[in-house]
Amino acid sequence: MNGGDGGEAAAATAGPPAPLEWKFSQVFGERSAGEEVQEVDIISAIEFDKTGNHLATGDRGGRVVLFERTDTKEHGRNRKDLEKMDYPISRHPEFRYKTEFQSHEPEFDYLKSLEIEEKINKIRWCQTANGAVFLLSTNDKTIKFWKVQEKKVKKISELNVDPSKVCSAASSMVSSSPKQYLSNGSYPDRSHFSSRNDGLPDGIHSLRLPMITSSETSLIARCRRVYAHAHDYHINSISNNSDCETFISADDLRINLWNLEISSQSFNIVDVKPANMEDLTEVITSAEFHPTHCNMLAYSSSKGSIRLIDLRQSALCDSHSKLFEDLEAPGSRSFFTEIIASISDIKFAKDGRHILSRDYMTLKLWDINMDSSPVATFQVHEYLRPKLCDLYENDSIFDKFECCLSGDGLRVATGSYSNLFRVFGCSSGSTEATTLDASKNPMRRQIQTPSRPARSLSSSITRVVRRGSESPGVDSNGNSFDFTTKLLHLAWHPSENSIACAAANSLYMYYA
């Protein structure tokens, strides 16, 4: 006991960890100067698996792209395995392209005269087994369960075999076979065959024998199950349960519970649809299972609240066990209050003790044992408050930014405009607040193009200075911001300080 107390005292006096120094690692799909980005190539979902050895992205074209980790210092492989690798061992996390497959296609709902986009809304990894990886992907209406594994590819090799072997094989075949009779009992007339010196017909020499080989391996993606026709509204979330058997899917008004093995039916556990749709005041924006307790999940709403529900209390969980809500200051209400209060994403910390939420202006960290107020609030877009009217007119105010936590729970991150992402320290006493330009690749020769706004060099890695903007179009760091470039999707490696973030069609990797 005394030793434990001494350790806690030492930790208390040590203070918060030092701010991390972030460095660029690599980029996939970076566009060249002046290249236009195709709409279907824009990344719309990103997710690490539990080990951090695989990374998946989904795009608006319905494709899922998988990346695998290539630096193997933590993977427990022996020297012989490392010598066989066809890529160098790095000192920081590095990934390479593994495979891609078409997950969803555009559809048309004839009953509702509604087009269903192929855009991937969410990707979630499932348990791996026998060298195969499994994942769930969803568009607005349909969830699919995919299995990706290596299989030997059977190919037909060169058809022309060694002529000497053909001759010897054909000779033995002719000599060993009995004479064939025609239907009238006579022998066939061989006078029309032209023979070579070996006495074999020309047809034998041109004989083609197909040979099948299976030396190469290829990654094959196969759709194992399709979970469809369970949502009337657009699916915004899917989340795996810690029991590895069930998962939830959420749309604007309902949350359904599925069994991975059963695609024909689901169980509705949350339904916030009013009897009269005119009475509708809020919608579900995000939902996630607790990382360790299979009976608990949380979902957020457009009113800025988070509800924690317990599946043990009732089969239909319309009543919550806890409500987390940050009440606004009296007299501060405006036309935009409800819009900017809407939570676009929630994430449980790895230990399950905290929930991170992102609304338009802030990141908030909640302790599930304290529902009165967030334990920490981080200002992300405070400098945009004077421009809310412009943001409303160009629909930017409805952008849905995601958030993520580090594996150790000491830091949180989220995206912003001008392809910036921000990292905040959330341990007690921490003042860490770092802003990085994800698309600023130091290994690329910088070429100014008219299509992209110029940014100052200081915007690559800068410290956040908490002050208001001094001129329109300038953020808290004094850098001009661009609403057309936005970093909506990012993910933190589950066990290391490494962040993958998506800017348009490019995937950028940073580490600290």
First to last CA, the chain: 35
C-alpha distances out from residue 411 to 55, 63, 355, 427, 497, Å: 20, 31, 13, 7, 9
Burial class from Cβ neighbours inside 10 Å (0-12, 13-18, 19+) for residue 185 reads: exposed
Write the DSSP symbol of residue 198: T
Longest dimension (CA), the chain: 112
28 within 8 A of 97, measured Cβ to Cβ:
yes
50 within 8 A of 68, measured Cβ to Cβ:
no
Express each pLDDT in 369-392 by its tens digit.
Answer: 998 899 999 999 999 999 999 999
C-alpha distances out from residue 63 to 41, 59, 120, Å: 9, 6, 7
Decide: helix, strand or coil at residue 391: helix
Express each pLDDT in 249-276 by its tens digit.
Answer: 999 999 999 999 999 999 999 999 999 9
Express each pLDDT in 474-499 by its tens digit.
Answer: 555 555 578 889 999 999 999 999 99
- Span of 116-125, 194-203, 314-323 with lowest mean pLDDT: 194-203
Express each pLDDT in 411-461 by its tens digit.
Answer: 999 999 999 999 999 988 889 999 999 988 766 644 443 333 333 323 222
Cα separation, 383 vs 387, in Å, equals 8
C-alpha distances out from residue 255 to 118, 251, 274, 303, 346, Å: 21, 6, 15, 17, 15
Decide: helix, strand or coil at residue 387: helix
Q: Quick one: tokens of 243? A: 């029991």
Decide: helix, strand or coil at residue 392: helix
Express each pLDDT in 282-332 by its tens digit.
Answer: 999 999 999 999 999 999 999 999 999 999 988 888 888 899 998 876 667
Tokens 């490392």 appear where? 82
- The secondary structure of 221-236 as a DSSP string is EEEEEEE-S--SS---
Q: How many helices (H) and strands (E) does the chain have?
A: 6, 33
